[in-house]
Amino acid sequence: MVVEDDADLRLAVTTELLGTGLRVDQAADIATADAALSAGRYDCVVFDRMLPDGDAIAYVHRRREQGWAVPVLFLTARDSLADRVAGFAHGGDDYLVKPFAVAEMAARVHALVRRAGSGRPSVLRHADLVVDCARREVRRAGVLLSLTAKEFAVLEYLVARPEQAVSRTELIEHCWDTSTDPMSNVVDVVVRRLRGKLREPELVHTVRGHGYRLDGLRRRP
């Protein structure tokens, strides 16, 4: 979730994060963000500090007192030592002063997401497939594959749930943003490209009327 009232900056941050394979929702104020955060599960929130309806630090502090544990990165033009200390003291996990490089911001977000999900291995394996979530690398039978950010996101989601049927809607919810039409064929297009890059024997199998499943090594008849 990116919470920033400056539309241009919000777009730049969102575009950079989408380009690294993350699904991103957006909000321009605390009220909109709170509604989304209360309704769904997020791996990280990027908060501009000063928003039209208040200082995000106060909101995060209140949520932390309620047991909320989602990692938070504050973006702010307030660069004094006291401001940075306040950011951490009131529940922030990282603090980035404006102006900043969006690539650095994305790297910090990925670090927070990895830290929050440290219970899951950073390297996932299935058959002869190895997915390195930290390096964002995929190897099949030892060969490094070149995947787009979206192909990596779909494969990472499937390989974390081996032999489980995963619906198209579930993939859209976790690998695309909220503007994606759940009735579109974007998942099928990405999976088709992914299958071509993974080569035979096929790993990603269609579950008719539902979605896809990452299964064992089976050659097509």
Print the domain residue range for 156.
Answer: 123-218
Residues 19 and 96 in one domain: yes
C-alpha closest to that of 17 among 38, 48, 46? 46
CATH of the domain at 185: 1.10.10.10
User: How far is residue 201 from each of residues 128, 141, 166, 218, 219, measured CA to CA in Å?
Assistant: 10, 11, 20, 5, 5
What is the pLDDT tens value at each position of the chain, 221 positions in all?
999 999 999 999 999 998 888 889 999 999 999 999 888 788 899 999 999 999 999 999 998 888 788 899 999 888 888 888 888 888 899 999 988 999 999 999 988 887 766 555 678 888 899 988 777 889 999 999 999 888 988 998 899 888 889 998 888 877 776 555 556 688 899 999 999 999 988 999 999 988 999 986 554 44
- Strands 54-55 and 50-51, bridge-based pairing: antiparallel
Residues 91 and 154 in one domain: no
Residues 199 and 159 in one domain: yes
Q: Quick one: tokens of 165?
A: 């049927």
Residues 137 and 75 in one domain: no
The rounded distance, in Å, linking the Cα atoms of 161 and 157 is: 7
Q: Quick one: tokens of 105?
A: 């911001």
CATH of the domain at 31: 3.40.50.2300
Residues 77 and 110 in one domain: yes
**Chosen domain end from 116, 145, 166:** 116
Q: How many Cβ atoms sit within 10 Å of the Cβ of residue 128?
A: 13
The rounded distance, in Å, linking the Cα atoms of 134 and 141 is: 19
What's the chain's Rg over C-alpha atoms? Answer: 19
The total number of structural domains that make up the chain: 2
User: How far is residue 1 from each of residues 42, 59, 71, 110, measured CA to CA in Å?
Assistant: 7, 15, 11, 13
C-alpha closest to that of 113 among 173, 164, 153? 153
**Chosen domain end from 64, 89, 116:** 116
Residues 202 and 167 in one domain: yes
Residues 205 and 138 in one domain: yes
The rounded distance, in Å, linking the Cα atoms of 64 and 14 is: 25
Dmax over Cα atoms in the chain, in whole Å? 66
User: How far is residue 56 from each of residues 94, 101, 112, 187, measured CA to CA in Å?
Assistant: 13, 21, 18, 35
**Chosen domain end from 116, 151, 180:** 116
Reading across the β-sheet that carries 202-207, which strands appear in turn?
166-167, 211-218, 202-207
Residues 18 and 111 in one domain: yes
Residues 91 and 144 in one domain: no
Q: Quick one: tokens of 48?
A: 């501009």
Q: How many Cβ atoms sit within 10 Å of the Cβ of residue 29?
A: 16
The rounded distance, in Å, linking the Cα atoms of 71 and 83 is: 18
Q: Quick one: tokens of 199?
A: 């080569």
Give the CB-side neighbour count of residue 211, counting CA atoms within 13 A: 21
pTM: 0.59
